Structure 1
Amino acid sequence: MHNISFTERLILRKVTVEDADFLLELFNTPSWLQYIGDRNIHTVEEAAEYIANGPLPFYAKHGFGSYCLELRDSGKRIGMCGLYKRDNLNYYDLGFALLPEFEGKGYAREACEFVIEESREALKLQSLLAITDKSNLRSIQLLERLGFEWKGDFSFEDNGEILNCFQLPLREKPVAPPLTIVVTNELTSTQKEAVRKIWNNVYPESLVLHTPEDFERYLETLGWKQHSLMENLSGELLAWGITFERENDRWFAMMLDPSIQGTGMGTVLLKRMQTGKSKLSGWVIDHNNAVRADGKPYLSPVEFYLKNKFTLEPETRLELPSISAVCIRYNHENN
């Protein structure tokens, strides 16, 4: 993301605290309040605080974010457009809003096309999402003209409002569908059975959990558990990860349904599990001799973890009749 970029009619630049007066106006327009929601920002000081706690840290963390839109011929600020990241979604999503007097003039499409191209070519993103209010027909029509496809209903956990979720793939290779990420300390019985199903599909036959009680016994051996679940918009579980305490160390395990393997979702799930944790340890099968229940070979994921900045500890191994694995460790201080 450049500090300043240009299209035919627009200047796109990073938001600064000097834009507080403009954001105060934008956040309180009728269309923003109706389709995006009340930010409860009613003074320039509150808008400046929003910028300091929102866009600026986002730039620092991700290297990109939302643009302030200005007209090239006058320098007038007319709206915002850019990328946002919601903790419970697997991809960045595109967002845009204009002052009412500049809607319907093609500015939103011009800005969105720039952001999409930047996402594809410069940021190398695999896919973009877009979340819209069900009644926001103008935004829905623009997203469809930009090539987005409706993927299903989506709601935030805090208010339960049903929204549209659109997706635009940016690569020719297959990409995962929109996935929600749920973090919980306890699994429901339905979730446990869904995890066990994926477990038995992807792990070696020697590790198969034959009954729900087998999975319960496994969970009972783990302390201070935190589960991370990735579900599609229909609520189907497609990935599971867990971090837990063992011998005063934080350990993890994770697995993905074959349908989303190779789409980058393993890295997304892993990063979510690493949030707030300085160290993680795990066991990983480091050979291709194991066989899954369906008769196919179990392929070692060692290279995946090395790419995600884990290190191998060859001298620390787990040798049991059911598994032969090596210890891997992640240390935030070393990365």
Structure 2
Amino acid sequence: MSLVYRIGFTLESLFDYVRSNKEWTWGGAAGAVIEGGLNGAVQKWVPKWAQPLVGGGIHVLGSWAQHAIDGEPYSFKDAFTDFSSYVVNENSLVKKVKSIDKTIDKVCSLLEKYIDFIQKTCDVKRQLDREVRKIADGVTQWVRSMDPNDISGPTGYGRARFIQKDHRMEYKIRFENNENATAPAQRVYIEHKYSEHLDARTFIMGDFGFGNFTKEFPPKSKLFQGTIDMTAELGIVIRVFAGLDLEKNMVIWEFQSLDPKTGDAPTDPSIGFLPPNNGTSGQGYVTFSMKPNKDVAHLSTVHANASIYFDQNEPIDTPNIFNTVNTYIFCFSNPL
């Protein structure tokens, strides 16, 4: 009976992976089989309090197998992030919140067919989603604190990170000048190649900031070009450019320090707008949002990552994140 149970658990994991990933790979299938098989073998013998930790280790092993078979790199940092995220998601409090959320989803989907005032109920749920996302953002901040050069987006539902096709996908890219750097960064250039499943016409810039400075773009902005006068604080002016490059399917940002007397980059390498990080002044971020194409196919995968350039150095590539588009119409059209 124990063997039958383990086989069933393994097949269930494989089926869930193939069903939720339209562009599945052999490595992903192998990782699902390993994860499902090991979980089925050990979960009955592991104390309840230790199951998230053991499950996290098994999840990392499955992810490592997936990347190894697919010929993709998998670093210690990736393993740490996968393990931490798994443990957080398997936390009993988080599970209870998700269980309540799923129950509300089911109730909403049933009531939509028969009750005209369902929208009010769903609005309450969406407010709950926004509050839970604030908690999730705090967890993400803690989990990824080892590498602030990253990108974050919609959490979605489940391991496939499902979102509804009409959901506005909000992204945040963070960057940091390394604390061991010998000089401040004079120029930071960020590029994000957006997914072919996203509609460029829905692109909207959010806000940006560095150190103690923040600025919101005008509502529904798609392009920005201007300067920030920081002569009193840093003795420089910062030229900012942000917008879409439709030919390359990219969103780009550029922050360039300028000598206010010459209009050129400072000749003194000790002058720049982003000093080595001391916990506050050496960090920055940019935000934007887009929506999926109206004709996006069911179960399409939307990937997102970014490349960050500091002065003339090689780019720092953020980890890749993804969401899976669900084209069915349910109440949970505004996931986390």
TM-score exceeds 0.5: no
Q: TM-score, normalized by length of structure 1?
A: 0.27
Q: TM-score, normalized by length of structure 2?
A: 0.27
Higher relative contact order (CA 8 A, sep 6+): 2
Greater share of residues in strand: 1
